[in-house]
Structure 1
Amino acid sequence: MKHSASRGRQLKRLAGVSAAAVLIGLLSAPSSSAAQAPALDPGTPPGVDEVASTPNLNLVANLPKTGPFADSTNSDLAFQDDFAYAGNYNGFTVYDIKDPESPTVAAQVLCPGAQNDVSVKGNLLFLGTDSQRTNDSCDNTGSTTAAPGERWEGIKIFDISDPRTPKYIKSVKTDCGSHTQTVVPGKSGDNSVYLYVSSYNLAGADLPNCPLPHDKISIVRVPVQNPTAAAVVSTPVLFPDGGYPGGTEGQSATTGCHDITAYPEKDIAAGACMGDGVLFDISVRSAPKVITSVRDTVNFAFWHSATFNNSATKIVFTDELGGGGAATCNPEIGPTRGADAIYDIVGKGKNRKLEFRSYFKIPRTNTENENCVAHNGSLIPVPGRDIMVQAWYQGGISVWDFTNSRKPKEIAYWERGPLSADSPVLGGSWSAYWYNGYIVSNDIVKGLDVLKLKDRRTNPARNFLTDEFNAQTQDNFRNW
């Protein structure tokens, strides 16, 4: 969820949203686009092995999971040059996407350790381990009371100077592991990258390597020219008052952060910290400071991730209601729970505040067997507009416009029908990101999907190309 179950959170069967017309077609064979049929009545979801979409968003390629990853959960994505790096609970896959409509597997690295969140920078790949392992090698098993081993969790660093033969070169143990990590480049004169390591403890009790209170993040400094010297350089306590204590209706307490998105050019970051949404000053890379924070004790259960608009005047926070494993996209839950929340950043400097503007949730009803909730996405680089693509697990992939913070609207979507018509099965798009003219999605069960968006409102984005992309490290796309 970046998937949030690794700390023992119980998944609840929940559900939310109004209906919209869909176009239904049989799911095509891998590496081809889906045939489309006439529109059905509003609110009719696609069936098993069917797809639904708007005419402007189509699947152009699919690569199913293979080998040791076939029966393991896919997770996040990062990109560099002609390659996509896709996390999986058993390791990561390197895809050659030079021709996005005909991707191929370039390499697979077997290295178990949930959830294997991936980030890249230069010749380095960072892999996050958020489950205690018997050791820090790629030949490990889950640590148990009977066979605890080293109880290792944290960051693994790989050399990807040759993307087809990644080499494991260093590990860094961090308190509570690394559920997600954010790459923040050093400032002028500092040839380092900093990893803001987010982790948390939802057990409500001390855990090995993760005692309460866990109100901090770990910051790992990686010297670019000597990455084997990487080490934890600070563990700033972000919530000296303990943060949000949690609510009586499933609202999570703050015991660390789930995800941090940095905008290094502007020296700010946004933290989705379970019970708190936070704006940070990161002008001193090893010592982020809280500028302001917000809470939503009515509609938000778990502050999961954050995305700035390009001008850094807005933040979209997501709520991972039900832990990503529940059916939350139906009328019983409604349009404001398990949704995105849009906040404007107002004021200047230390006086900046976050002001709530509106919620956005996909305007479709899913079946009771489809896990669906707001998840990982990124901006689509359209000058003068605030448009993003976003994964919603089995709710599919949504493209929506929040240029008007008070009136967000969906402009495209694509989704598969449920994996089962009879019982809940975890699946769907974990992450969906725009990369150099295409939308690339890592589907938990179905593998790598590539989609093409053809819409006059987003066509200008094809003029903006980058050679590296981590969704949690935002760049001003006008500099690409």
Structure 2
Amino acid sequence: MSTPRRTLVAAAAAFALALTGMPALAADIPPPDTVVNSPNVTHVLNIPKPAPIAATINTDIAFQDGYAYVGNYGGFSIYDIRNPKKATVVSSTVCPGSQMDVSVYGNLLFGAVDSSRNNDSCSSTSQSATIKESWEGVRIFDISDKANPKYIKSVETNCGSHTLTLVPGKGRDRHKNVYVYVSSYLPAANFPDCMPPHDKISIIKVPLDNPTAAAVATTPVVFPDGGNETQPGLLVPTSGCHDITVYAEKDIAAGACMGDGVLFDISDRLNPKVTARVTDPNFAFWHSATFSNDARKVVFTDELGGGGAATCNEATGPNRGADAIYEIVNGQLVFKSYFKIPRHQADSENCVAHNGSLIPVKGRDIMVQAWYMGGLSIWDFTDAANPKEIGYFERGPRAAGGGGGIWSAYYYNGYIYGADFHEGLDILKINDPLTDSAKYVRTDRLNVQTQESYRGGWH
């Protein structure tokens, strides 16, 4: 449980003050390593990183059948969360290679590797991408035995795999194949397997009855004109996509593509078509996307500073390093507003909009989102022009110094799970009239970048 040094009254007052949008005072920044939260959020449990991967940072999370799969630069861990209050570590698989963005599908776990390795094995070491024989891409594991996952296949992809997104097949194909949209970027003329112009994604076809036959099926070009390369303030010019979120049952996807935000028609899984594209002078790096449940809105995040800078301070302001909320009108993206956490962070804290998911509340658009050292924020964008935070959880600056914070924060079957760089897995619960109905919604599998609709129940 959290033990904030502020009294509950003071915490409530600080939260109310934050909602007014007034600047934070130095007194509002928690002491080093101190956990604080809004009155409607309970810190249920923290599980430190397992010893085999304790030296490397946690990243993304996937869920299936009461288990959480937490990626880590050193591999991944499986947690039994069937009783979240007594969650335990089942196993840790050591297999280094950042970022280890993870997704699960049946007995398969897919991990994204975006660091050039001397081979595709789990004992590989770093090796320059200038060497033709270097490897990076997607690793596939058999997780049927959760205590002993088995590495069964690797698929090399151009420029590696910074993130990956699972896309189920359509119709009869749904039971035969799953597709993996691989996002990668940053080509260089001296990288034999990652030469410019890149401007594309890779699509891996995985036969479900023979996953070791997985292979790249096609590499569609997203930006035949090169994309957004000249806008002032870009972290780097567009040269591919950072992350893609698909809403497969609606045959659409949203791409956060460095300097561009994109909508796709994915009715043909192997031939996604760009249907809308937008840029934003306040965005430095389009990082990720989340659709509303009715797919009439999409939230894009901006990873200003690449995640390593203090961008939640007063100097940066409310419109940079933020979320941008768009309505989808006649197939086009129409900007409505920005959202950024209203609590200023210390100048020593790396803080920026990062990975989050919807909380399944019928009739409202509410999501939980990670903000690195800004912690996690629960916010309502039902009114797209006037989003509001309704809850939060965070830690003060690290006493040990350096960066950190929560990489991904997702809602799954009544609880919120946060993967913290250093602190491990946080499990939280929100008790609020706006979100209470979500506790009745259950799902077997949750890969956040593979959105599914909720209709009182879930798939």
Pairwise same-fold verdict (TM > 0.5): yes
* Large movers: runs of 4+ above 4 Å: 203-206
Distance 1:109 1:150 in 2: 25
Superposed displacement of residue 204, structure 1: 5.8
**Where does residue 20 of structure 1 map in the other structure?**
none
Residues 381, 145 of structure 1: alpha-carbon distance in 2 compared, 3 angstrom cutoff:
closer
Distance 1:99 1:463 in 2: 16
Identity of aligned residues (%): 60
- Asked if 1:34 is matched to 2:32, the reply is no
Does the aligned pair in 2 maintain the 1:335–1:361 contact within 8 Å? yes
**Where does residue 199 of structure 1 map in the other structure?**
184
**Where does residue 415 of structure 1 map in the other structure?**
394
Distance 1:164 1:69 in 2: 16
- Asked if 1:168 is matched to 2:137, the reply is no
Superposed displacement of residue 102, structure 1: 1.5
Show the 5 A alignment for 1:7-156: 32-35=1-4, 37=7, 38-39=9-10, 43=24, 44-144=28-128, 150-156=133-139
- Asked if 1:344 is matched to 2:288, the reply is no
Q: Which amino acid aligns with 2:197?
A: P
Does the aligned pair in 1 maintain the 2:188–2:195 contact within 8 Å? no
- Asked if 1:388 is matched to 2:364, the reply is no
Superposed displacement of residue 47, structure 1: 1.0
Does the aligned pair in 2 maintain the 1:318–1:340 contact within 8 Å? yes
Superposed displacement of residue 468, structure 1: 0.4
Distance 1:145 1:241 in 2: 26
Distance 2:267 2:129 in 1: 42
Does the aligned pair in 2 maintain the 1:244–1:254 contact within 8 Å? yes
Q: How many aligned residue pairs are there?
A: 440
- Structure with the bigger RCO (C-alpha within 8 Å, sep 6+) is 1
Given candidates 395, 418, 439, the residue that maps to 1:441 is: 418
Show the 5 A alignment for 1:199-218: 199-201=184-186, 205-218=189-202
What is the DSSP-based 3-state SS (H/G/I as helix, E as strand, rest coil) of the residue aligned with 1:131? coil
Give per-residue Cα distances to partners, 1:230-265, cap 9 Å, x unaligned: 000000001001101133334431100000000000
Superposed displacement of residue 209, structure 1: 1.5
Q: Which amino acid aligns with 1:195?
A: V
Superposed displacement of residue 139, structure 1: 1.0
Distance 1:343 1:436 in 2: 27
- Asked if 1:319 is matched to 2:274, the reply is no
Does the aligned pair in 1 maintain the 2:2–2:35 contact within 8 Å? no
Does the aligned pair in 2 maintain the 1:246–1:254 contact within 8 Å? no
Given candidates 356, 372, 390, the residue that maps to 1:377 is: 356
Does the aligned pair in 1 maintain the 2:323–2:340 contact within 8 Å? yes
Does the aligned pair in 2 maintain the 1:136–1:153 contact within 8 Å? yes
Superposed displacement of residue 225, structure 1: 0.8
Q: Which amino acid aligns with 1:394?
A: M
Q: Alignment RMSD, CA only?
A: 1.5
**Where does residue 462 of structure 1 map in the other structure?**
439
Q: Which amino acid aligns with 2:449?
A: Q
Give per-residue Cα distances to partners, 1:345-376, cap 9 Å, x unaligned: 011xxxx1000000000001100110000000
Query: Structure 2 stretches of 5 or more lacking a match?
Result: 18-23
Superposed displacement of residue 39, structure 1: 1.1
Does the aligned pair in 1 maintain the 2:120–2:136 contact within 8 Å? yes
What is the DSSP-based 3-state SS (H/G/I as helix, E as strand, rest coil) of the residue aligned with 2:10? coil
Superposed displacement of residue 304, structure 1: 0.1
Does the aligned pair in 1 maintain the 2:234–2:283 contact within 8 Å? no
Distance 2:230 2:84 in 1: 44
Alignment TM-score, normalising by the size of structure 2: 0.93
Does the aligned pair in 2 maintain the 1:206–1:212 contact within 8 Å? no
- Asked if 1:329 is matched to 2:298, the reply is no
**Where does residue 258 of structure 2 map in the other structure?**
274
- Asked if 1:283 is matched to 2:267, the reply is yes
Does the aligned pair in 1 maintain the 2:132–2:191 contact within 8 Å? no
Given candidates 225, 239, 259, the residue that maps to 1:241 is: 225
Residues 145, 218 of structure 1: alpha-carbon distance in 2 compared, 3 angstrom cutoff:
closer
What is the DSSP-based 3-state SS (H/G/I as helix, E as strand, rest coil) of the residue aligned with 1:461? helix
Distance 2:189 2:404 in 1: 30
